[in-house]
């Protein structure tokens, strides 16, 4: 997606985001796209390219559930469809219907369901009655289940027709899983199975017009029901039947068979009892729906998982199926469990006994269990989403026999992203988050001439911590790659790139790395190991690699204390989750002690000589800014000015001034003098109350001593520092619609003093302003700033919650100077990258 302006164009380059850690959050549609929730955003990704395509703004609360119409199960019905639909439900009970037009890949917010649940949505399920008609059901923690009928438009101008067929009140124990099916025999009857926080499955039956009544209960599970899925009708001889698979926290999976006995009038004559064999069913209840009678029986009990089974799903019918010939429902079930595995179950040819034929994921240390498993529409791939907000995908690449291999998937943070920083030469982007990780994203140079070109991926996870991380800064200057991060603790930590990362980066960026190979010879650290408590990361030295291999078989005990040894290697393709979580850590080289509270913001000067840090504060003594000398890591200054938390700091581009803004609504400017022999002189030269509310953000003009501040009072002000060190207000931009939470100023033309200012707001929206600073000379008594707002980014391109940080890639690092890159991060778990083309 891109936005055009007479002079400027903005394109979306990359989105990184993790999945909300909620069951029923993910859906794989007949469109072959996957939907999931990332905080309040609905995110769409393409499994083939492993890239996130877009995010859909509209929810005001965390997205709990998504469901495609048609879903992967109905892909065989969706070949002619020009438009696909998606339902998403959030923690406030709101459900939104979206439309995707396949012709131009455009998304549209169709409607919000008129009747919303009082509490969070727990499950959405649906099925396609015909190409334009669907029935879907929604459940919620408020103890209600709604059943809806939706008729989609046949031509582009028309609207969807939506009607609520039934509202079921299921009582104090909410339902967490639903499945709908058309009952076998052309009866026009619909069954709804639901399960929740008790050990029974409840079956309701009704007609297309509504009025659903409880038909029966299925007992057998001994713990809460977690997942239900009806197969499509199975035609075997003269008896039509449908299968229901259920999974539970009792670690078991049960397959139930619903068989049409016939109409009540002639039931005695037509119903034949099948022969009893080893795989025969145990007779269950008989229920009546309309004028027909159905027999339920337990077909099979599948035991194999060692923990709660969160999801079960029937394999979708082959895409080759034709509706007039009839489709074939494969006898194959995918299950996903908190025991870190997904299994495929199929009946044995001779005996008919259901067996586990494929198990994936059991070697992974990082998943901490799966919340859901999904088939691709063609059943060649399976996807799981895990406790760590991560996706795991396997594809069957075998020809004559099954061979399931891990595949690349999108990745990203699964909590608010608090800070981002570009590498000093722009080869990668570093981000930190409240999910307690630091991640590195880079453009991976694709050597395959058939491919679509380079793509952005997560290439390393340098820090996996035990505290939420609030801030980070990349050390500028020569030498190895280093960064400092600050978390919800009083210590700042310094990390240095290991040899495995340098080689990976060298390969990924096609030998354009800023740290040449001859410099890599001095790096003696290959990688890093996680400590048992997850706080410090210990180096693995180059000459110690043989010891690692021997330690791998430590006792075979997977206790909480035993952390698997990392095996750092140079990567030749973008890594998958297992590699990222353990094998791409950076060693911690120093700890910086001094602050009295949790770290809040960090910045580094442009020469790479000084790092400034601040912490959360409610008094002047705690609100000091500490200066640290890079290399020796000695504290060389304690700058006092503010009385509350310093929210952001930035060095001017000549490194002579340090700007700080604070919750106390003031900004401060310190003059930094670097005397010889590593001594630092500093002096407070200006302090001013600048806004009526908290100042969240600041940024310097790259070409001078002008700077900008942004505040909760919804204003952005531009200031100039004069030669006498006094500060003059130059301009206030027109008031914004929301609190300003992030700012970044980039220079375009030094001679004319032109630049662009990116503004991020609490609403998640982004704007880009063009700034031209006129310098004072004898003819112009005071300097001024000419501005023009050039772009308001489309909400579909923006964040859906507060923007926490914006960062332009230094234009000097761009191959094409007309194309700028802007990175942003936000509370919606997303890291976003835009290309800004200035014509």
Q: Which of 287-301, 303-317, 421-435, 780-794 has the lowest mean pLDDT?
A: 780-794
Report the distance separating Cα 41 and Cα 430, nearest Å.
22
Angle at 541 between CA 427 and CA 589, to 5 degrees: 60
Beta strand 680-689 pairing with 716-721 = unpaired
Q: Per mean pLDDT, which range of 323-337, 444-458, 779-793 is the poorest?
A: 779-793
Question: For residue 815, how far is the Cα from the chain centroid?
Answer: 30
Cα(407)–Cα(414) distance, rounded to whole angstroms? 20
Query: Rounded mean pLDDT of 26-54?
Result: 95
| Cα 593 off chain centre by | 33
The DSSP string of 146-190 is: EEEEEE--SSTT---EEEEEEEEE--SS-EEEEEEEEPTTT--EE
- What is the distance between the alpha carbons of residues 445 and 573, in angstroms, rounded to a whole number? 9
CA atoms within 13 A on the CB side of 708: 27
Mean of pLDDT over the chain: 86
From the list 114, 115, 58, the residue with the least C-alpha distance to 90 is 58
Query: Residue 382: beta bridge partners?
Result: 375, 394
* Interatomic CA distance for residues 149 and 174, integer angstroms: 22
Weakest-pLDDT range from 222-236, 676-690, 808-822: 808-822
Residue 145, pLDDT > 90, answer: yes
What is d(CA 223, CA 307) in angstroms, rounded to the nearest whole number? Answer: 12
pLDDT (mean) for 779-783: 48
pLDDT above 70: residue 552: no
Q: Range with the lowest mean pLDDT among 208-217, 363-372, 556-565? A: 556-565
Other C-beta atoms within 10 Å of 241: how many?
20
Burial class (CB in 10 A: 0-12, 13-18, 19+), 104: exposed
- Give the global pTM: 0.92
In the structure, what pLDDT confidence band is assigned to residue 239 with cuts at 50, 70 and 90? Answer: low
β-pairing verdict for 121-130 and 252-263: unpaired
How much of the chain is helix, strand and coil, in % rounded to 5? 5, 50, 45
Has residue 283 got a pLDDT over 80?
Answer: no
What is the reported pLDDT for 674? 81
pLDDT at position 316, please?
A: 92
Digit-coded pLDDT (tens) for 118-131: 999 999 999 888 88
Cα–Cα dist 693/697, whole Å: 12
Tokens (6 digits) for 48: 């083939």
**CA distances in angstroms from 324 to 184, 440, 573, listed in the order given:** 17, 51, 45
Q: Quick one: which H or E segment has residue 517?
A: helix 517-520
- Reply yes or no on whether the pLDDT at 610 is more than 60: yes
Instruction: Name the helix (H) or strand (E) containing 245.
Output: strand 239-248
Distances (CA, A) of 439 to 483, 515, 531, 693, 778: 12, 19, 18, 32, 50
833 close to 823: Cβ distance less than 8 angstroms: yes
- Looking at residue 260, its pLDDT comes to 84
Per the model's pLDDT, the better-predicted residue between 399 and 245 turns out to be: 245
Task: Count Cα atoms within 13 angstroms, Cβ side, for 751.
Answer: 0
Q: Which two tokens stand for residue 673?
A: 């003098």
Q: Does the pLDDT value for residue 454 go beyond 90? A: no
Residue among 653, 790, 644 at smallest CA distance from 5: 790
- Confidence at 781, pLDDT banded by 50, 70, 90: very low
pLDDT tier for residue 8 given thresholds of 50, 70 and 90: confident
110 pLDDT more than 50: yes
Structural domains of the chain, with CATH:
23-137 (2.130.10.10), 417-543+564-838 (2.130.10.10)
Residue 369 to residue 379: CA distance in whole angstroms: 22
- 779 pLDDT band, cuts 50/70/90, is very low
pLDDT band at 160 (very low <50, low <70, confident <90, very high): confident
Bigger pLDDT: 511 vs 425? 425
Tokens 């002000």 belong to which residue? 717
pLDDT at 581: 84
CB environment 247-262: b (16+ within 10 A), e (fewer): bbbbbbbbbbbbbbbb
Contact 730, 783 (CB under 8 A): yes
d(Cα 193, Cα 182) in Å, to the nearest integer? 12
Residue 560 has pLDDT above 60, yes or no: no
């Amino acid at each position: 997606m891109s936005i055009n302006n007479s002079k400027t164009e903005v394109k979306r380059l990359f989105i990184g985001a993790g999945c909300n850690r909620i069951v029923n959050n993910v859906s794989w549609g007949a469109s072959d796209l996957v939907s999931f929730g990332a905080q309040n955003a609905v995110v769409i990704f393409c499994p083939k390219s492993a890239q996130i395509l877009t995010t859909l703004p509209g929810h005001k609360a965390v997205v709990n559930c998504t469901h495609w119409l048609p879903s992967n199960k109905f892909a065989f019905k969706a070949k002619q469809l020009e438009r696909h639909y998606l339902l998403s439900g959030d923690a406030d009970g709101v459900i939104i219907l979206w439309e995707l037009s396949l012709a131009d890949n455009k998304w549209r917010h169709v409607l919000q369901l008129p009747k919303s649940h009082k509490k969070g949505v727990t499950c959405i399920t649906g099925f396609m009655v015909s190409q334009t008609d669907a029935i879907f059901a929604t459940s919620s923690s408020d103890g209600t289940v709604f059943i809806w009928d939706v008729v989609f438009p046949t031509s582009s101008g028309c609207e969807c027709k939506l009607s609520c067929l039934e509202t079921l009140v299921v009582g104090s124990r909410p339902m967490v899983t639903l499945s709908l099916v058309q009952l076998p025999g052309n009866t026009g009857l619909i069954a709804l199975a639901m399960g929740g926080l008790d050990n029974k499955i409840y079956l309701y039956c009704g007609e297309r017009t509504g009025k659903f009544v409880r038909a029966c209960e299925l007992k057998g599970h001994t713990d809460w029901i977690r997942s239900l899925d009806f197969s499509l009708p199975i035609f075997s001889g003269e008896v039509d039947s449908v299968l229901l698979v259920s999974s539970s926290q009792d670690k078991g999976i049960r397959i139930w068979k619903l068989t049409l006995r016939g109409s009540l009038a002639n039931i005695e004559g037509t119903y034949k009892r099948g022969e009893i064999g080893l795989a025969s069913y145990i007779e269950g209840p008989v229920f009546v729906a309309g004028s027909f009678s159905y027999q339920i029986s337990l077909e099979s009990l599948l035991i194999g998982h060692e923990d709660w089974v969160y999801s079960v799903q029937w394999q979708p019918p082959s895409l080759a199926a034709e509706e007039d010939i009839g489709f074939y429902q494969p006898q194959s079930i995918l299950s996903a469990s908190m025991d870190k595995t997904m299994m495929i179950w199929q009946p044995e040819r001779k005996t008919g006994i259901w067996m586990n034929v494929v198990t994936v994921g059991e070697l992974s240390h990082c998943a901490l269990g799966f919340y859901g498993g999904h088939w691709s529409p063609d059943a060649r791939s399976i996807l799981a989403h895990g406790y760590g907000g991560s996706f795991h995908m396997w594809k069957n690449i075998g020809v004559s026999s099954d061979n399931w291999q891990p595949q690349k998937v999108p990745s990203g943070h699964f909590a608010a992203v608090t800070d981002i920083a570009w590498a000093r030469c722009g080869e990668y982007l570093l981000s930190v988050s409240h999910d307690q990780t630091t991640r590195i994203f880079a453009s991976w140079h694709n050597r395959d001439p058939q491919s679509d070109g380079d793509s952005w991926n997560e290439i390393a996870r340098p820090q996996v911590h035990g505290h939420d991380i609030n801030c980070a800064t990349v050390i500028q200057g020569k030498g190895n790659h280093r960064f400092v991060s600050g978390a919800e603790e009083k210590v700042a930590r310094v990390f240095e790139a290991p040899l495995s990362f340098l080689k990976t980066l060298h390969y990924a960026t096609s030998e354009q790395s800023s740290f040449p190979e001859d410099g890599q010879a001095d790096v003696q650290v290959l990688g890093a190991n996680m400590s048992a408590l997850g706080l410090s990361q210990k180096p693995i030295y180059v000459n110690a690699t043989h010891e690692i291999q021997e330690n791998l078989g430590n006792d075979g005990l997977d206790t909480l204390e035993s952390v698997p040894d990392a095996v750092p290697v140079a990567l030749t393709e973008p890594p998958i989750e297992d590699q990222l979580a353990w094998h791409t850590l950076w060693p911690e080289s120093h700890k910086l002690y001094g602050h009295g509270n949790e770290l809040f913001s960090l910045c580094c000067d442009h020469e790479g000589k000084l790092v400034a840090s601040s912490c959360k504060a409610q008094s002047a003594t705690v609100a000091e800014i500490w200066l640290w000398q890079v290399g020796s890591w000695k504290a060389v200054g304690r700058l006092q000015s503010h009385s509350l938390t310093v929210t952001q700091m930035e060095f001017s581009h000549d490194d002579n001034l340090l700007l700080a803004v604070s919750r106390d609504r003031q900004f401060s400017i310190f003059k930094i003098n670097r005397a010889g022999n590593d001594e630092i002189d500093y002096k407070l030269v200006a302090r001013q109350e600048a806004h009526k509310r908290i100042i969240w953000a600041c940024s310097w003009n790259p070409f001078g001593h002008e700077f900008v501040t942004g505040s909760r009072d919804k204003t952005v002000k531009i200031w100039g520092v004069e030669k006498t060190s006094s500060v003059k207000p130059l301009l206030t931009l027109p008031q914004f619609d929301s609190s300003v939470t992030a700012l970044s100023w980039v220079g375009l033309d030094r001679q004319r003093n032109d630049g662009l200012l990116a503004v991020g707001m609490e609403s998640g929206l982004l704007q880009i302003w063009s700034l031209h600073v006129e310098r004072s000379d004898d003819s112009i008594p005071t300097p001024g700033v000419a501005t023009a707002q050039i772009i308001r980014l489309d909400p579909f391109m923006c964040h859906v919650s507060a923007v926490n940080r914006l960062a332009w890639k230094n234009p000097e690092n761009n191959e094409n100077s007309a194309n700028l890159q802007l990175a942003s991060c936000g509370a919606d778990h997303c890291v976003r990258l835009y290309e800004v083309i200035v014509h």
